[in-house]
Structure 1
Amino acid sequence: MTHPDLALRAEQAVIGAALRDPAALDQIAYLTPDRMAHPTNRALMAALVETRTSTPTAPAARIPDLIAQTTAVRGVGSDYLRRLADAAPQPRNIASYARLVQEAAVRRDLALHLDQLRTPAADQRGPEPSLDRLLQRVEPVSQSAKFSDPAPEPYQPRTQQFGGPEVRVDARLERQDVVLADLLQHPEQVREVSTWLYPEVFDTGLRREVYEAIVVVAERDDPVDQLTVEWEVYRQGERYEIEVEVTRDEHPDYLARLATTAVVVGAAVELGREVLAEDIRTQLTADFGGIDVSARAPGTGPKPAAEIQAAGPVPQLQPAPLLQPPPVQQSPTIQPNIRP
Structure 2
Amino acid sequence: MPDLVHRTEQELLGALIYDPSLVNDVPYLLPRHFQHSDHQAIFAAFLDIYANEPGIWGATMAERINLQIGQSSIDQTRLTGLVLSSPDLASVAVYGRMIQEAALRRELLSHADRLTQAAGTVRGIDPELDHFALLSDALRSNAVHFDTSLTYELAVQAPRQDLRTLREEALLADLIQHPEYLHEVAAWLDPEVFTSPDRRSIYEAIIAVDHYGEPVQELTLSWELARARSADLTLAGEPIDSRFDATPAAPGYLARLAVTAVEAGVSIELGRDLLADHSRAELAAGAARITVNAVNAVTIAHQPAAHRTLRHERGFAQDHSAPLLTPPDQTLGLDGPELRQ
Map of 2:320 onto structure 1: none
Change (3 A) 1:121 1:224: closer
Map of 2:81 onto structure 1: 83
User: Which residue, out of 135, 139, 142, partners 1:131?
Assistant: 135
Map of 1:210 onto structure 2: 202
Q: How far is the alpha carbon of 1:289 from its aligned partner?
A: 4.3
Q: How far is the alpha carbon of 1:251 from its aligned partner?
A: 3.5
Q: How far is the alpha carbon of 1:62 from its aligned partner?
A: 1.8
Task: Specify the code of the residue in structure 1 equivalent to 2:71.
Answer: V
Return the alpha-carbon distance in structure 2 between the equivalents of residues 23 and 73 of structure 1: 25
Q: Number of aligned pairs?
A: 271
Task: Specify the code of the residue in structure 1 equivalent to 2:286.
Answer: D
Return the alpha-carbon distance in structure 1 between the equivalents of residues 5 and 289 of structure 2: 52
Within 5 A, what are the aligned runs for 1:249-264? 249-264=248-263
Map of 2:64 onto structure 1: 66
SS of 1:250's equivalent in the other structure is: coil
Change (3 A) 1:251 1:283: farther
User: Which residue, out of 45, 48, 51, partners 1:50?
Assistant: 48
Map of 1:190 onto structure 2: 182
Q: Deviations over 1:188-243 (max 9, x none)?
A: 11122110111111124211111100000001111111110010001111222269
Q: Deviations over 1:238-295 (max 9, x none)?
A: 22226999x9542421101111111110111111111111111111111124779xxx
Task: Specify the code of the residue in structure 2 equivalent to 1:86.
Answer: L
Question: For the Cα contact (< 8 Å) 1:118–1:127, is it kept in 2?
Answer: no
Map of 1:177 onto structure 2: 169
Change (3 A) 1:179 1:121: closer
Question: For the Cα contact (< 8 Å) 1:120–1:127, is it kept in 2?
Answer: no
TM-score (norm 1): 0.72
Map of 2:3 onto structure 1: 5
Return the alpha-carbon distance in structure 2 between the equivalents of residues 32 and 124 of structure 1: 39
User: Which residue, out of 212, 219, 233, partners 1:220?
Assistant: 212
Map of 1:107 onto structure 2: 105
Change (3 A) 1:105 1:165: closer
Return the alpha-carbon distance in structure 1 between the equivalents of residues 119 and 218 of structure 2: 45
Task: Specify the code of the residue in structure 2 equivalent to 1:57.
Answer: G
Return the alpha-carbon distance in structure 1 between the equivalents of residues 74 and 48 of structure 2: 17
Return the alpha-carbon distance in structure 2 between the equivalents of residues 91 and 248 of structure 1: 33
Map of 2:229 onto structure 1: 237
Task: Specify the code of the residue in structure 2 equivalent to 1:75.
Answer: S
Return the alpha-carbon distance in structure 1 between the equivalents of residues 278 and 226 of structure 2: 27
Change (3 A) 1:87 1:124: farther
Return the alpha-carbon distance in structure 2 between the equivalents of residues 31 and 207 of structure 1: 34
Greater Cα offset, 256-265 or 69-78:
69-78
Return the alpha-carbon distance in structure 2 between the equivalents of residues 72 and 127 of structure 1: 49
Question: For the Cα contact (< 8 Å) 2:168–2:199, is it kept in 1?
Answer: yes
Return the alpha-carbon distance in structure 1 between the equivalents of residues 286 and 79 of structure 2: 59
Q: How far is the alpha carbon of 1:120 from its aligned partner?
A: 2.9
Greater Cα offset, 116-125 or 271-280:
116-125
TM-score (norm 2): 0.72
Q: Deviations over 1:32-75 (max 9, x none)?
A: 11110100000011111112111111142422112111122332
Q: How far is the alpha carbon of 1:139 from its aligned partner?
A: 3.7
Question: For the Cα contact (< 8 Å) 2:143–2:230, is it kept in 1?
Answer: no
Map of 2:273 onto structure 1: 274
Return the alpha-carbon distance in structure 2 between the equivalents of residues 165 and 28 of structure 1: 41
Return the alpha-carbon distance in structure 1 between the equivalents of residues 38 and 126 of structure 2: 40
Q: Deviations over 1:153-177 (max 9, x none)?
A: xx9xx9xxxxx99542511011111
Question: For the Cα contact (< 8 Å) 1:115–1:135, is it kept in 2?
Answer: no
Task: Specify the code of the residue in structure 2 equivalent to 1:53.
Answer: A
The structure having more radius of gyration, on CA atoms, is 1
Return the alpha-carbon distance in structure 2 between the equivalents of residues 33 and 268 of structure 1: 42
Return the alpha-carbon distance in structure 1 between the equivalents of residues 4 and 157 of structure 2: 27
Change (3 A) 1:91 1:285: same
Greater Cα offset, 63-72 or 174-183:
63-72
* Identical amino acids, percent of aligned pairs: 35
Return the alpha-carbon distance in structure 2 between the equivalents of residues 280 and 251 of structure 1: 32
Greater Cα offset, 124-133 or 57-66:
124-133
